[in-house]
Amino acid sequence: MGLSVRVLANQGVFVELYRFRQLLMSLAWRDIRIRYKQSLLGIAWAILLPMSMMLIFTFVFTRAIDARSVLQLDIPYALYAYTGIVPWTLFSMGLTACVNSLVANRNLVTKVYFPREVFPLSSIASAFVDYLIAMTVLVGLVFYFHRSSDWSFTPSSAILFVPIILLVQLALMVGVGMGLAMANLFYRDVKQITGVSVQLLMFVSAVVVPVPGDGSLLASLVSLNPLVPIISAYRDCILFGRLPESGPFLYATAFALLSLVFGWICFRRASHRFAECI
């Protein structure tokens, strides 16, 4: 009986979110406009930011050291880096926006009723728009390096698995994002901690360098980061034409789903206290 009630309650949440889908999209569009307001390049920054990071790391790992030999890469480093930077940028931008989403919309939280989940969801949706734009550049980079280097791109059905990888990443982001948004409402230190943590997390998420395969304790600890198999899965499907390793990716999927369920439940249960904490 208790399980049936919870199932019906969860169904009610999704129905309610669907009813307020226009509000969610309006908030996401507002976030995009605010982000690029009075910017000369506007939405072009969605391409320039990951491209500039790619160029910086490419300079470091191809001029300072020979990345292809030291890191044992058989693909152009720039392509390797960009394929990791784009999903990482989605993750970092989405979480950074999520953590302050409730506080930034305090007037709406205290005066109008609608499901509070729309705030972190709209933050992720606005970051997702930048992700889609940046991913289109990847097509051009693949074509460029296919024509200008000794690496060749071979189309494979594995690329059809990319939407599944994206869904797993979004599930992870929604779960963690809701938890951070809720925690920041009660303890404003969370925003500062998240900003620092996200910057440090980049270097242990296989974004610009692969995880060491030496079986060391450090490598084992880094492999526990669910972003590692997610970002590696992007590269497997897009660059190497193969499906991701089942074990690590199933671990990341289970971690993402547990984060989604736990984060959503905690967020929903605490939502009645949001107005009094702002």
% of the chain with per-residue pLDDT over 70: 82
What's the per-residue H, E or C state across the chain?
Answer: CHHHHHHHHHHHHHHHHHHCHHHHHHHHHHHHHHHCCCCCCHHHHHHHHHHHHHHHHHHHHHHHCCHHHHCCCCCCHHHHHHHHHHHHHHHHHHHHHHHCHHHHCHHHHHHCCCCCCHHHHHHHHHHHHHHHHHHHHHHHHHHHHHHHCCCCCCCCHHHHHHHHHHHHHHHHHHHHHHHHHHHHHHCCHHHHHHHHHHHHHHHHCCCCCCCCCCCCHHHHHHHCCCHHHHHHHHHHHHCCCCCCCHHHHHHHHHHHHHHHHHHHHHHHHHHHHHHHHC
The whole-number pLDDT of residue 1 equals: 44
The whole-number pLDDT of residue 104 equals: 79
Q: How confident is the model at residue 5 (pLDDT cuts 50, 70, 90)?
A: very low
Domain range annotation of the chain: 23-277
Of the listed ranges 31-45, 88-102, 125-139, the one predicted with least confidence: 31-45
pLDDT digit string, tens, across residues 223-252: 889 999 999 999 999 999 899 999 999 999
pLDDT digit string, tens, across residues 187-218: 888 888 888 888 888 888 888 887 776 667 77
Given a cut of 50, whether residue 3 has pLDDT beyond it is no
Given a cut of 70, whether residue 136 has pLDDT beyond it is yes
pLDDT digit string, tens, across residues 6-29: 443 455 667 777 777 777 788 787
The whole-number pLDDT of residue 215 equals: 66
